[in-house]
Amino acid sequence: MKKIITILSLFAVVLSCKEKVKKEENNVIVEKEPIAITEVMEDGVIYEANIRQYSPEGTFNAFTKDIPVLKKLGVKVIWVMPINPISKVKRKATDGQFTSDIKDEEERKKYLGSYYSVSDYKAINPEFGTFDDFKNMVTTAHENDILVIVDWVPNHTGWDHPWIKDHPEYYTQNEKGEIIDPINPETGESWGWTDVADLNYDNENMRKEMISDMKFWVEKADIDGFRMDVAHKVPADFFNIAIKEMKTVKPVFMLAEAEQPDLLQNGFDMQYGWEAHHILNEIAKGEANVAKFDAYMVKLDSILEADDINMNFVTNHDENSWNGTLLERMPNNKEVFTALTYAMPGMPLIYSGQEYDMEHRLRFFEKDTIPKAKGEYFTLLEKLGELKNTNPALNGGKDAAKYTRISTSNNETTLAFKRDKDGETVYFIANLSDKEQEATIAITGDFTDYISNTAFKIDEKVAVKLAPWEYHILTAKK
């Protein structure tokens, strides 16, 4: 949505776009243009980095080594899960109890706590490394033309955050004056997030300190923006002010963990495509059909403006740990739904381990690790990333390619649409059911199947036979 930018913010953006980054290579100063955020939003893939579980070491340095691998997947944004120290007070174990209630010391040490229970907004979790390690990771990403955004937790803190003692007025309190954990406003009951304390956004001083702490990472670590945890539980006007402040330093990319258009009106660039994700899960399980997806796409036109961006995904840290792996939720059909998240408007997400066919739920409170064996799915993500990066027909940012539904003789099971921009067109055709389907499709022509690099001919008068979950991404014939 069209953002209102202050003169000061606009001036900073212009200066930043003109400024060149200097790097010394072999005693020669090489000038590198800063990454253009607007271009990234059009053709990028976003990668969610779970540093703790990404490698056996669970460190920034171990992750940094693989940044060139991510570039090969078309990644242009790395979203790093929270990098801050984790609260020890009321730290949770996997079964929901506090670690302080576990008598066995060795058992207690296993539980590292929730990333989202922050004890210090301006410090690095020593589990991951040092500030310099993190800054080196950011620099390496920038050298590979990749933005880095940090997962920020603005709704609550851990129970040993300094504000608890120094500024109890920064927190929501009950009638007894006791600081409380976040409450569901509809029921008046706790959400169950008992390892965190709810922040009070009626307190202006707290707001100012929060913005100052956010700005610290933009200024000192040169990060490129934030993914805002539970953004819908924080007043939208706070983000309006905070994002303008960030933009006085440099252009930033902002992702809201919410599907709430008013956040896009208040400075966010991208929101979660939660509804689309749930629809894809339902179709994968046979609980819905293509008609529900079509209705969603029509609804988007009425609630989003042309420059709003959805993040499309088949998994993320919440889905994997709590709702199931891709094998559990999309058995035998993850490829077609993954391809759809790249072909439909928006920006596709890859979660740590997804690229390596991870088939287990990553532990959330304990150390775990992802597999690192490349298979056919890795190759698929490489090809999809290349198409997303290079073909304007898949642009999904503020100047997105047009989406047009193509009619078929069986619209409930056969999805067909085209994306087009700047004279380029990409077609997506899929059987989104577990049974073989035949359908005529209202296009005629000779194409190239992008994934298999083979010829593909369609005649609108002749039915196309599609196996269960079969899909095709079609480009102009070579």
Interval 273-284: pLDDT, tens? 999 999 999 999
Provide the b/e sequence for 188-212 (b: ≥16 CB within 10 Å): eeeeebebbbbbbbebeebbeebbe
Interval 382-425: pLDDT, tens? 999 999 999 999 999 999 999 999 999 999 999 999 999 999 99
Phi, psi values for residue 150, rounded to 5°: -105, 140
Contacts of 23 (CB under 8 A, 6+ apart): 29, 30, 31, 32, 143
Domain 7-400 architecture = Alpha-Beta Barrel (3.20)
Query: In the prediction, which pLDDT does 193 show?
Result: 96
**Given a cut of 50, is residue 192 above it in pLDDT?**
yes
Over residues 54-81, mean pLDDT:
99
Confidence category of residue 21, pLDDT binned at 50, 70, 90: very low
Query: In the prediction, which pLDDT does 478 show?
Result: 74
Over residues 445-461, mean pLDDT:
97
**Given a cut of 70, is residue 18 above it in pLDDT?**
no
Query: In the prediction, which pLDDT does 28 show?
Result: 54
Q: For strand 309-312 and strand 28-32, is the pairing parallel, antiparallel, or unpaired?
A: unpaired
| ∠ CA 170-175-178, rounded to 5° | 50
Over residues 234-262, mean pLDDT:
97
H-type helices in 247-352, by residue range?
261-265, 274-284, 290-303, 317-318, 326-329, 334-343
Who wins on pLDDT, 370 or 1? 370
Query: In the prediction, which pLDDT does 427 show?
Result: 99
Place of tokens 């999809």: 384
Structure tokens that stand for 456 in this block: 């593909």
> What single DSSP character describes residue 27?
T
Integer Cα distance of 64 and 153 in angstroms:
23
Distances (CA, A) of 151 to 88, 214, 223, 225: 20, 11, 11, 9
453: left (phi over 0), alpha (psi -120 to 50) or beta: left
Confidence category of residue 3, pLDDT binned at 50, 70, 90: very low
Task: Say if CB 214 and CB 246 are below 8 A apart.
Answer: yes
Q: What is the mean pLDDT of the chain?
A: 94
Integer Cα distance of 439 and 26 in angstroms:
61
Query: In the prediction, which pLDDT does 278 show?
Result: 98
Q: Where are the domains of the chain?
A: 7-400, 414-476
DSSP string, 461-475: TSPEEE-TT-EEEEE
SS3 222: coil
Task: Say if CB 75 and CB 348 are below 8 A apart.
Answer: no
Interval 280-338: pLDDT, tens? 999 999 999 999 999 999 999 889 988 899 999 999 999 999 999 999 999 999 999 99
Integer Cα distance of 474 and 457 in angstroms:
10
Over residues 6-26, mean pLDDT:
44
CB atoms within 10 A of CB 445: 14
Handedness of CA 453, 458, 463, 469 (dihedral sign): positive
**Given a cut of 60, is residue 22 above it in pLDDT?**
no
Beta-strand ranges (E) seen in 211-315 are: 225-228, 253-256, 270-272, 309-312
Query: In the prediction, which pLDDT does 9 show?
Result: 43
End-to-end, the C-alpha distance of the chain in Å comes to 37
Structure tokens that stand for 245 in this block: 């402040």
Over residues 80-93, mean pLDDT:
98
Integer Cα distance of 221 and 134 in angstroms:
8
**Helix (H) or strand (E) segment spanning residue 216:** helix 204-220
**Given a cut of 90, is residue 151 above it in pLDDT?**
yes
Query: In the prediction, which pLDDT does 140 show?
Result: 99
Who wins on pLDDT, 103 or 26? 103
Confidence category of residue 30, pLDDT binned at 50, 70, 90: low
Secondary structure of 144-171 in HEC code, one letter for each residue: CCCEEEEEECCCEEECCCHHHHHCHHHE
% the chain with pLDDT above 70: 93
Provide the b/e sequence for 323-355 (b: ≥16 CB within 10 Å): eebbeebbeebbbbbbbbbbbbbbbbbbbbbbb
Q: For strand 424-431 and strand 414-421, is the pairing parallel, antiparallel, or unpaired?
A: antiparallel
Query: In the prediction, which pLDDT does 19 show?
Result: 42
Does domain 414-476 bear CATH number 2.60.40.1180?
A: yes
Confidence category of residue 16, pLDDT binned at 50, 70, 90: very low
Interval 335-351: pLDDT, tens? 999 999 999 999 999 99
% the chain with pLDDT above 90: 90
Query: In the prediction, which pLDDT does 26 show?
Result: 56
**Helix (H) or strand (E) segment spanning residue 379:** helix 376-390
Task: Say if CB 264 and CB 271 are below 8 A apart.
Answer: yes
Query: In the prediction, which pLDDT does 34 show?
Result: 86
Q: For strand 424-431 and strand 156-158, is the pairing parallel, antiparallel, or unpaired?
A: unpaired
In the chain, the amino acid numbered 460 is: E
Integer Cα distance of 303 and 401 in angstroms:
18
Query: In the prediction, which pLDDT does 27 show?
Result: 55
User: Distance from CA of residue 6 to its chain's centroid?
Assistant: 28
Question: Please, which residues bridge with residue 344 across strands?
Answer: none
Task: Say if CB 428 and CB 415 are below 8 A apart.
Answer: yes
What is the 3-state composition of the chain as percent helix, strand, coil, each rounded to the nearest 5? 35, 25, 40
Confidence category of residue 477, pLDDT binned at 50, 70, 90: confident
Confidence category of residue 211, pLDDT binned at 50, 70, 90: very high
Longest CA span, the chain = 74
Contacts of 319 (CB under 8 A, 6+ apart): 277, 313, 329, 351
